[in-house]
Structure 1
Amino acid sequence: MTIDRRKFLLAAPALLAACSGRQLLSYNGPKVTSIMAFKQQRKMYLLHGNKALKSYPFQLGFTPVGHKQFEGDGKTPEGTYIIDRRNPNSSYHLSVGISYPNDRDRAFAEAHGKRPGGDIFIHGTPSDVLGKKDWTAGCIAVTNEEVEEIYAMVGDYTPVFVKA
């Protein structure tokens, strides 16, 4: 019996979560084909084609206006990315990684003699920041219950479109 690499990588987070004792939600509905996040409206949609399956309000980086350009600028990236990793043991309950920086982001930062930053996620919210507005270092934060749904519904390689 052989297990291809992609299936193993997609199953690994569930195995890790099982070992950690955390019970992850499962999802058997329509496939999430993309994520649209609108920063100004603070609204994120999980889509199947052009139909919204779920929507979530969210918090942003502590400097919410504008595209992330440099490490430490507190901005949330704008552009087209993919879900490229997941962390069942996140400090922020659960998290799914967004593929920032892309080649264009890296080139821009390097042209200015700076680093683009990274580690951008959709993640949950620790209790010490509940009710605060735009507190992340550039991530998209939802409630812990919401990130559990997102973690179950969204697969790796799902396109993420973040708009101003």
Structure 2
Amino acid sequence: MSNPVQETSRLDAEGAREFLAFTLGDEEYGIDILKVQEIRGYEAVTRIASAPEFIKGVINLRGIIIPVVDMRIKFQLGTPVYDQFTVVIILNVGGRVVGMVVDSVSDVTTLTREQIRPAPEMGSSFDAQVLMGLGTIDERMLILIDIDRLMSSPDMGLLEKLAA
């Protein structure tokens, strides 16, 4: 359960939040812009033996070795294609730096509280716990990911369980 005081502190005076919008396949997703450290072009990673398939490997980011997760593989959205649009979003989550491979990044979008709808129940095939909701802007819809919860989930194994 999220802390309402903590949630409110991330909203500006009008109750708006900024999200970095990115694509995976045909869908657009959004994550809290405050978790994003930088955006880099995709580069070769060093594979780690016995790591889950969605963990592509590690990269050396200015002397810090960070794990890189391919979100297309993680969300089972088909075979990833690495091209000139593929980027790695460098995140700072729970005090740890993690890379996230996505198909492309589009923009930073501001959403008000009224534009964020609860996520529907998806059954057991998808962990709805990692969804913050759905952001709606005219005809556009962003699937909002709770990146803290996703990166600290037991199957990821990247971060210690974050304090509730």
Same fold (TM over 0.5): no
Higher helix share: 1
TM-score, length of structure 1 as denominator length: 0.29
TM-score, length of structure 2 as denominator length: 0.29
**Which structure is richer in relative contact order (CA contacts within 8 A, separation 6 or more)?**
1
